[in-house]
Amino acid sequence: MDIEQKVKEIIIEELGVEASEVTLEANFIEDLGADSLDTVELIMKFEEEFEIDIADEEAEKLTTVGKAVDYLTSKVG
Amino acid sequence: MVKDKIAIITGAARGIGFAIARRFAEEGATVIIIDLAQDAVDEAVAQLTTDGFSAAGYAGNVVNGEQMAEIFKTIHARFGAIDILINNAGITRDGLIMKMKESDWDAVIAVNLKGTFICTQKVSRYMMKQRHGVIINIASVIGLMGNSGQANYAASKGGIIALTKSTAKELASRNIRANAIAPGFIRTPMTDTLKPEVVENYAKAIPLSRMGEAVDVANSCLFLASDLASYITGQTIQVDGGLIM
């Protein structure tokens, strides 16, 4: 499975949103209704699924689906 | 009240911690005892299972984050949930401020305050995912009123009360409640060694004119852990016979 697809599936499951909402431009907080705890949980889930460590300063920058996909692709892909 | 719940209690091999474990077990919870020494843990678990209760135990140090994370992971895998966490592990290293060693300050703050933080942090991960949980932190009236010769202990217990409020605020949206209990003078093996006249002097200051029993603390834990307390979070309940009001 490619990374973009896997990232989107994680987001759909963690945030309980529809696949159609999870566009690359979608902002986790503004568009997908995540709160600060959701974003922490999401990062933890990425770390678990992709078996990597994401530093706090990196995590703060991952505000949209696209940014998360790009970051994870660069780390894992 | 807590039937079939999975309840972890730290520092539960003896004293107030063990009384809490026994009381929860009596009410049908599966209790998981955490304490420093494996043999003490095994003995405590054996006492409960011999009486027909559901109990398990793990040896660990609450100050060791990696070790605690591993223990909680094992518990979660084995029991499928962590419903209740009671942060009870605590120590004293009494001394006047002028004479207190830094190492005694550090040790008490580490076990009592940091240990509570570490267990809360590691367990909240599972509680957040399951969208429910109860955390109870054992503070002390000393954390509210201070005590000569116990600056480190008082600071750690006051810190626990503030930590409890922050925990309650951060995790409320995930249906996780966090409360503290502040016991007063509770009869334990340690106080049994006090001279009767000393105990009598203590008792004079208590409106209910007696020392508390460990089970008094355990009963309050039971209430806070149950759905009877479903609208209570961020509070500190004093179990002190009216000592401070």
Which helix H or strand E contains B198, and what residues bound it?
helix B196-204
Q: Where are the domains of chain A?
A: 3-76
Mean pLDDT estimate for chain B = 96
Which residues 118-137 of B have a C-beta within 8 angstroms of A? 125, 128-129
Q: What is the pTM of this model?
A: 0.92
**Packing angle of the helix pair A36-50, B115-130 (nearest 10 deg):** 90
Backbone angles phi and psi of B33, in degrees to 5 = -90, 125
Looking at residue A1, what is its pLDDT?
Answer: 66
Residues of B with CB below 8 A from A47's CB? none
Looking at residue A76, what is its pLDDT?
Answer: 87
Q: How far apart are CA B25 and CA B36, in angstroms?
A: 21
Give me the DSSP letters along A51-77: T----HHHHTT--BHHHHHHHHHHHH-
Res B190 pLDDT > 80: no
Quick one: closest CA in B to A38, which residue? B128
Question: B71 CA to chain A: closest CA distance, Å?
Answer: 18
Res B29 pLDDT > 70: yes
**3 state SS of B186:** strand
| DSSP type of residue B95 | B
Residues of A with CB below 8 A from B173's CB? 35, 37
> Where residue B193 falls among pLDDT bands split at 50, 70, 90?
confident
Quick one: closest CA in A to B171, which residue? A37
Looking at residue A73, what is its pLDDT?
Answer: 94
B174·A35 Cβ contact <8 A: no
Contacts of B41 (CB under 8 A, 6+ apart): B13, B33, B34, B35, B57, B58, B59
- Joined together, the tokens standing for residue B68 give 């605690």
Give me the DSSP letters along B122-167: HHHHHHHHHT-EEEEEE--THHHH--TTBHHHHHHHHHHHHHHHHH
A37·B128 Cβ contact <8 A: yes
A37·B125 Cβ contact <8 A: no
- Joined together, the tokens standing for residue B81 give 């949930």
Res B129 pLDDT > 80: yes
Give the ipTM.
Answer: 0.75
**Span B207-236, mean pLDDT?**
97
**Cα–Cα distances in Å, from B128 out to A9, B24, B59, B170, B221?**
20, 23, 25, 11, 21
**Tens place of pLDDT for every residue, chain A, 77 residues?**
689 999 999 999 999 999 999 999 999 999 999 998 999 999 999 999 999 999 989 999 999 999 999 999 999 87
A35·B173 Cβ contact <8 A: yes
Residues of B with CB below 8 A from A37's CB? 128, 170-171, 173-174
Identify the bridge partners of residue A47 per DSSP, sorted by sequence position.
none
- Joined together, the tokens standing for residue A35 give 């709160």
Weakest-pLDDT range from B3-7, B184-188, B197-201, B214-218: B197-201
Partner B contacted by A35 (CB < 8 A):
yes
Looking at residue B198, what is its pLDDT?
Answer: 81
Residues of A with CB below 8 A from B129's CB? 41
Looking at residue B34, what is its pLDDT?
Answer: 98
**Cα–Cα distances in Å, from B220 out to B16, B178, B215, B217?**
12, 14, 9, 5
Q: Which CATH class is domain A3-76?
A: mainly alpha
Question: A23 CA to chain B: closest CA distance, Å?
Answer: 25
Listed in sequence order, the DSSP H helices in B27-114 are 38-50, 65-79, 102-108
Looking at residue B238, what is its pLDDT?
Answer: 98
* pLDDT tens, position by position, B142-152: 999 999 999 99
Residues of A with CB below 8 A from B170's CB? 37
Pairing of strands B176-183, B133-138: parallel
Contacts of B135 (CB under 8 A, 6+ apart): B84, B85, B86, B87, B120, B123, B124, B127, B164, B167, B171, B176, B177, B178, B179
**Span B148-171, mean pLDDT?**
97
The domains found in chain B, sorted by start residue, are: 6-237 (3.40.50.720)
**Cα–Cα distances in Å, from B168 out to B79, B133, B136, B172, B174?**
25, 11, 10, 6, 10
Which residues 169-208 of B have a C-beta within 8 angstroms of A? 170-171, 173-174
Res B110 pLDDT > 70: yes
